[in-house]
Amino acid sequence: MLMTLEDVRKAYAPLQGIVRRTPLLTSKTIDDMAGGPVSLKAENLQKTGSFKIRGAYTALSRLSAADRLQGVVTASAGNHAQGIALAAKLTETRSVVYMPVAASIAKVIATRGYGADVRLAGDSFDGAVAAAEAFARESGATFISAFDHDDIIAGQGSVGLELLEDLPDLETVIVPVGGGGLISGMALALKESKPSIRIVGVQAEGCSAALQSWKCGDVTAVAHAATIADGIAVKKPSGRTLQYLRKYVDEMVTVGDEEIATTIVTLLERMKLLVEGAGAAALTALIARKATPKGRTAVLLSGGNIDIKLLEGLIERAMLQAARYLRIFTAVDDKPGGLARLLHEIAAARGNVMEVIHNRTSAAVPIGKTGVEILIETRGSSHVTELLDRLKGAGYPVTVMS
């Protein structure tokens, strides 16, 4: 049976003082990119860096004293893991968390920091789930699903109630979707409070099981989860969440990793907001014109727990695409002063050298020359052209590297 609006309200009340009431943020720049005015619900600023503490605390706070003594176990790519770990700490419950072997190192460290016993198992979220369920059977610990659990769904629905309190004239809400727990709770809270609200779910193109299930009406799995949005990389929703999707969600769309990456860097540069792949997915749907804002529109930034190494790569990639960075390969004389003369030409063209890789063994350069790969900070496409023309004019064979 589906839960009711009253079930979400009962979960919402005890969360006061436990979770942060996250802000609604706006930006004229983001509005222009999104195709209309939007309010960003910044759950990336929530405790543990995502909305997950809402459902996790709701579930653990409702356990009996006997169940708490047995402990809880869960599986997660990272955000639910941290939510369960903190909720367990607050409720004095032992927690064991299974995470995929390739889980973000930052998320593993953070989960352990909250006091959970973290164990790595499986090559995906689903593999970690299997290990966690096996542990629950053997140990007697209570398994708490990241999305297939009424208390989890009810707790996540508190985001929807907050949105309506802050934006009574709300008309459209855009939400990232993995297993469906978040959108199930939010859609229930929003639609039962105001049936005219339009709910749009967003998945990553590389893992769109919930969208496929929503379309056909049956739980459908995908074989692989290939996306940088690890927080929504779930290969199969549950029958429970599919019921909410089918009843309350008006539209579902997908976005690509390149589009998600651009949104991550845009939010960081323009609004000083750090989000992860899943956290950027909903706004990406607007920026990439996969969805449109209609009336008062709210977008959920669901989490900010991005791996710094991944972020570094995304920033460099985005800077290259925007002609703010230029990476070139060329050759210099393999003798004292050879590299210095090249760097002098770059400096004279006002290029800022970020990185130099000196390669004497490259087969791509003649004998007596040294291959040099250089990353240069530039001022835009016209500056890139100026730099390249100067280097070629000085006799340097230049290859632009993407």
Report the CATH number that the domain containing residue 58 is assigned in CATH: 3.40.50.1100
Angle 255-76-181 from CA coordinates, rounded to 5°: 60
Distance CA 219, CA 87 (A): 30
Predicted pLDDT at 136: 97
Q: Is the pLDDT of residue 402 over 80?
A: no
What is the average per-residue pLDDT within 126-148? 95
Helix (H, G, I), strand (E, B) or coil at 1: coil
Q: Is the pLDDT of residue 390 over 90?
A: yes
Q: Are residues 280 and 182 in the same domain?
A: yes
Q: Are residues 236 and 306 in the same domain?
A: yes
Q: Are residues 11 and 109 in the same domain?
A: no
Q: Are residues 169 and 86 in the same domain?
A: no
Q: Is the pLDDT of residue 363 over 80?
A: no
What is the average per-residue pLDDT within 346-363? 89
Predicted pLDDT at 149: 96
CA 347, distance to chain mean position in Å, is 38
Distance CA 202, CA 291 (A): 9
Angle 159-72-17 from CA coordinates, rounded to 5°: 35
Per-residue pLDDT band for 359 (boundaries 50, 70, 90) equals confident
What is the average per-residue pLDDT within 12-20? 96
The domain in which residue 335 lies consists of 323-401
Tell which of 290, 315, 340 closes a domain: 315
Q: Are residues 138 and 163 in the same domain?
A: no
Q: Is the pLDDT of residue 361 over 80?
A: no
Q: Are residues 280 and 135 in the same domain?
A: no
Distance CA 48, CA 289 (A): 31
Tell which of 119, 149, 179 closes a domain: 149
Residue 309 is encoded by which pair of tokens?
A: 């190494």
Q: Are residues 163 and 257 in the same domain?
A: yes
Question: How deeply is 395 buried, as exposed, middle or buried, from its count of CB atoms within 10 A (0-12, 13-18, 19+)?
Answer: exposed
> What CATH number did the domain enclosing 382 receive?
3.30.70.260
Q: Are residues 238 and 379 in the same domain?
A: no
Tell which of 271, 291, 315 closes a domain: 315
Predicted pLDDT at 272: 97
Per-residue pLDDT band for 124 (boundaries 50, 70, 90) equals confident
pTM above 0.85, yes or no: yes
Q: Are residues 269 and 332 in the same domain?
A: no
Q: Are residues 287 and 166 in the same domain?
A: yes
Distance CA 75, CA 125 (A): 7
Q: Are residues 13 and 75 in the same domain?
A: no
Binning the chain into helix, strand and coil, the percentages to the nearest 5 are 50, 20, 30
Q: Are strands 38-42 and 24-25 parallel, antiparallel or unpaired?
A: antiparallel
Q: Are residues 167 and 183 in the same domain?
A: yes
Q: Is the pLDDT of residue 320 over 80?
A: yes
Q: Total structural domains in the chain?
A: 3
